[in-house]
Every structure is written in structure tokens, then in C-alpha cells.
Amino acid sequence: MKVPSKEKEKPLCEFYTHIGDEDWVLPGFGANPNEVKLLKEYGNLAKCYNSLHPTHQGVIRDAIKEMGFGMNQFLDEDIVSLAQYNKYCYYVAGLVGINAIELSILSKVCAPFSIPDETKRSLCISAGLLLQKVNIIRDIREDLLQIPQPRIFWPKEVRIRGLEQGYKGYISLSEI
């Protein structure tokens, strides 16, 4: 279901406030049947969240808040530069990488790294960016065939450079 961007702003920015609300639903949203079902039956996910230790809940809530505000920046904005592309990927996946490591350490699934926090954060973000970029490359055909308008995540500056260099619309993956 295609929801106008204006209608997405508030739910994206307020989602973190509902994360533990077992009665909360968001009908009419979702890009595919699975997302629609998740948002209609959100209480099941909230129950799982509520069963977590408060420290773990805080890590998740903080990341969801930053993710919602960050994704909101790209609702109607074309990704023009590599910097914007990396920023978008950070919000949708870099934060997931950070979250996974923080939760693994808090849960004692893995030992704390003996590297500086900034280095650890940078490595987590890089891993998340890599995964998101692989997803974008994997889904390029599906995204370009979206009706009524294709979704294009690759930066415009790279697409234009590809055309100028004679790639006939193909983009050098090494730039992404």
C-alpha cells in the first residue's frame, strides 16, 4: 500500500514511543502483506520487547528513535550523492549493526571487544552499511519495476557518471 509521505512522518518519528505498547496498531501501512500483518498485529512484537531486560529495551528504543527520525529525512528526498547514500544506509542498517553488537555484549553472547568504542562503532556501522548495500543491489530490478514510480536508492551522481562513461545505464558497483 502506497502511503503518502506526509502521512508517514509522524508515525516514523513517534514509533519509538509505541515500541512497548501491546495495544498499538498501525493499520493502512506496509509495503507488502507481511509488513501490513506485522503492523496490524504489532502487540505480539511489543510483548517480546516487554519481556526484555530494561537495559536491552533502552538500547533498542534509542536505535529505533534515531532510525525513525533519520529515515524521515529520506521520505521525499532523492539520494543524489554518495554521502546521502551512506547516511541513508546508516539509518536503515548501520544502526542495526550497532544494536546487534551492543545487545550481544549486554546479553553476554559475546565478550566485549578490546578495541576503542569509536573503532567498534565504526566497524559495526560498516557491517550494517555493507548488508544494506547488498540488499539494494539484490533488489535493484524489483525496485526499478515499482508502480507507479520506481524506487531508486543508488546516488544520482553515480548514475549520471555511469551514463557519461558509456555504461548505458549500468552503474559501476565499485563506486557504491
- pLDDT (tens digit per residue) in 15-74: 999 999 999 988 888 778 888 898 889 999 999 999 999 999 999 999 999 999 998 888
Residue 175's pLDDT band, with cuts at 50, 70 and 90, is low
Q: Is pLDDT larger for residue 1 or for residue 10?
A: 10
Instruction: Quickly count: other Cβ atoms within 10 Å of residue 2's Cβ.
Output: 9
- What gap in Å lies between CA 51 and CA 30, rounded to an integer? 25
Predicted TM-score (pTM) above 0.85: no
Q: Please check the confidence at residue 78 and state whether its pLDDT lies above 90.
A: no
User: Of 15, 29, 7, which is closest to residue 76 (Cα–Cα)?
Assistant: 7
Q: What is the DSSP string of 62-99?
A: HHHHHHHHHHHTTSS----SHHHHHHHHIIIIIHHHHH
pLDDT at position 104 is 84
pLDDT at 68: 92
Q: Considering the chain, what percentage of its residues have pLDDT values greater than 70? A: 88
pLDDT digits (tens, 9 = 90+) for 105-152: 888 887 776 777 788 778 888 888 888 888 888 887 887 787 777 777
